[in-house]
Amino acid sequence: MSKKAAGSGAFWDASGIPKARNVLTVKVLNRTNGKFPDSKVYWSFNGQTHSIAEQPFLDMPANSAGRMYFHLGSPDAALNDFVEFTVGADQFNGNTTRVDAFVLKLAMRLHSSSGADLTVGEDQATFAESRAATFRRFRDAVPAEFDHLAEGTTRILSPGGDPQFRAGGKYAGYFPGDIATSDIFGCAGSLSGKPDKCAQLNRNSTSTSPSAFYQKSPANYYAKFWHDNAIGHKAYGFAYDDVAAQSTYISHTDPEYLLVAVGY
């Protein structure tokens, strides 16, 4: 393990990580602020399911288009979310995502054998606050059309998957013009395969400067909220959020370990 690894008292606790026999070692961190003990924080991948009290580590093999799921409370709890990745023989490519919804606070740090650290996901201030506070801040930050996306404190649904923004829904005309609101949020229909155009419409900006994004209405204020509360302001708030390198995609050769912080 690298000498640069964080100590056991840090948010990014890299202590005790065994050397990978496959490509890299994944360590899952309980960052639920005491709401769930390690025995109630579960991870699931490729047919394996464990609490982190039982097994906090996964020796990650090479795989194509994989997902690692996290559950709070029980192995099949509705409180679940995921990170996604493609792992080569000597390469990690992956990201956190809010394209469909927010359920759990997630962040990950990729460490390579060269000493490089790449970190994405919700920021530590968001992890530190209560779940109720996060949901309350979302409702306070977005226009009224987006308030209903926060379903109690269960989840925050992406507008791309919400019926109210589809044909016949209350906010189907949120984006005026010839392109359907649901196609803009979902980068679908005539915008499928057109990342630049879809990103411009969601951000309401033709600029490639993030400071110019989401400054005018209508825009995807769901995505804006996750950018505003993310490490380095990087988030996957809609399908083509990687335009102008604004997504949580990280990639590195010689991966040594991946830390995944799971919050409530």
Could you tell me the pLDDT band of residue 3, with boundaries at 50, 70 and 90? very low
135-192 tens-digit pLDDT: 999 999 999 999 999 999 999 999 999 999 999 999 999 999 999 999 999 999 999 9
Strand (E) or helix (H) holding 29: strand 24-31
Could you tell me the pLDDT band of residue 9, with boundaries at 50, 70 and 90? low
> pTM (2 decimals)?
0.95
pLDDT, mean over the chain = 96
In Å, what is the CA distance from 19 to each residue of 25, 68, 70, 122, 251?
7, 20, 23, 27, 20
Examine the pLDDT at 65 and tell me if it is beyond 90: no
209-237 tens-digit pLDDT: 999 999 999 999 999 999 999 999 999 99
Q: For position 85, what pLDDT does the model report?
A: 98
Report which of 32, 234, 8, 214 is spatially closest to residue 123, judged by C-alpha positions. Answer: 234
89-99 tens-digit pLDDT: 999 999 999 99
Could you tell me the pLDDT band of residue 12, with boundaries at 50, 70 and 90? very high
Say if residues 23 and 37 touch (Cβ distance below 8 Å). no
Mean pLDDT to the nearest integer, 41-63 = 97
Helix (H, G, I), strand (E, B) or coil at 163: helix
Provide the Cα torsion 81, 12, 140, 177; round to 10°.
-60
What number of other Cβ atoms are within 10 A of residue 212's Cβ?
13
